[in-house]
Amino acid sequence: MPVLEIGSRRIGPDSPPFVIAEIGINHEGDIDKAVQMIDDAAAAGCECAKFQSHVIEDEMIPNDVIPGNAKESIWDIMSRCAFSEAEEIRVKRYVEQKGMIFLSTPFSRAAARRLEGMGVPAYKIGSGECNNYPLIAEIASYGKPVILSTGMNDLCSIAPAVEILRGAGVPYALMHCTSMYPTPYDKVRLGALKELGAAFPDAVLGLSDHSISNYTCFAAAALGASILEKHFTSDKSWPGPDVPISIDPRELRELIEGSRAIHAALGGGKTILAEEQPTIDFAYACVVTIRDVAAGESFSYDNIWVKRPGTGEIKAVDFQKLIGRRAATAIPRDAQIKWQDVEPHK
pTM strictly above 0.75? yes
Average pLDDT over all residues of the chain: 96
Q: Nearest-CA neighbor of 315 among 333, 336, 290, 343?
A: 336
At residue 310's C-alpha, the angle toward residues 309 and 314, to 5°, is: 120
Q: What are the start and end residues of each CATH 3.90.1210.10 domain in the chain?
A: 274-341
Please give the CATH architecture assigned to the domain spanning 8-265.
Answer: Alpha-Beta Barrel (3.20)
Give the least confident one: 39-43, 235-239, 240-244, 304-308. 240-244
* 70 Cβ contact list (under 8 Å, min separation 6): 77, 241
d(CA 154, CA 204): 17
How large a percentage of the chain has pLDDT more than 90? 92
d(CA 30, CA 256): 26
pLDDT above 90: residue 43 = yes
Q: What is the CATH number of domain 274-341?
A: 3.90.1210.10
Mean pLDDT over 58-73 rounds to 83
pLDDT above 90: residue 78 = no
Element (H, E) at 18: strand 18-24
How confident is residue 70, by pLDDT bands cut at 50, 70 and 90?
A: confident
Q: Are 110 and 87 in contact (CB under 8 A)?
A: no
How confident is residue 107, by pLDDT bands cut at 50, 70 and 90?
A: very high
pLDDT at 182: 96
| 201 burial via Cβ count (<10 Å: 0-12, 13-18, 19+) | exposed
* 76 Cβ contact list (under 8 Å, min separation 6): none
Chain length of the chain: 346
d(CA 51, CA 39): 14
Mean pLDDT over 98-108 rounds to 98
d(CA 291, CA 332): 7
| Residue scoring higher pLDDT (240 or 143) | 143
The 8-class DSSP code of residue 206 comes to E
Q: Are 75 and 67 in contact (CB under 8 A)?
A: no
How confident is residue 332, by pLDDT bands cut at 50, 70 and 90?
A: very high
Q: What are the start and end residues of each CATH 3.20.20.70 domain in the chain?
A: 8-265
pLDDT at 67: 81
pLDDT in tens, 277-323: 999 999 999 999 999 999 999 999 999 999 999 999 999 999 999 99
Q: Are 171 and 192 in contact (CB under 8 A)?
A: no
